[in-house]
Structure 1
Amino acid sequence: MSGHSMSGSPETPRDLAHLGHVEMLTPRIEASLAFFTDVFGMTEAGREGQSVYLRGWDDYEFASLKLTEAPLPGLAHVAFRTWSREALARRVAVLEASGHGIGWTDGDMGHGPSYRAHGPDGHVFEIYFETRKYQAPDALKPALKNQAQRFPARGMSVRRLDHLNLLCSEVEPTRDFLRDQLGMRLTEAIVLDSGIWGGAWMTATNKTYDIAFTRDHSGRRGRFHHVTYAIDSREEILRAADIALEAGVPIETGPHKHAVQQTFFLYLEEPGGNRVEVANTGARLMLDPDWEPVIWTETERKKGQAWGLKTVESFHTRGTPP
Structure 2
Amino acid sequence: MLAIMGSRCRCSTMSLTDGMRWASINPMHHTSATVSPFVRAKAESFGEPGLAWLDGLDDLIAEMEQQWSITVGQPIRGGTSSYVAHARTIDGQGAVLKLALPHFWAPHEIQRLDQAAGRGYARLLASDPDRNVMLMEALGPSMSQLGWPPEQVIKTVCATLQQAWQVELPETVPAQTGSSKAQDLAKLINRAWRGLDQPCSKEVIETALRYAERRAAAYNEDRCVAVHGDPHSGNAMQVLSPRSGAESGFVYVDPEAFVAEPAYDLGIVLRDWTEEFLNGPTRSLVRHRCGLLAEHSGLDGDAIWEWGFLERVATGLYVLEFGAAWGQEHLDVAERLV
TM-score (norm. length: structure 1): 0.29
Structure with greater helix share of residues: 2
TM-score (norm. length: structure 2): 0.28
Structure with greater strand share of residues: 1
Which structure has the larger Rg over C-alpha atoms? Answer: 2
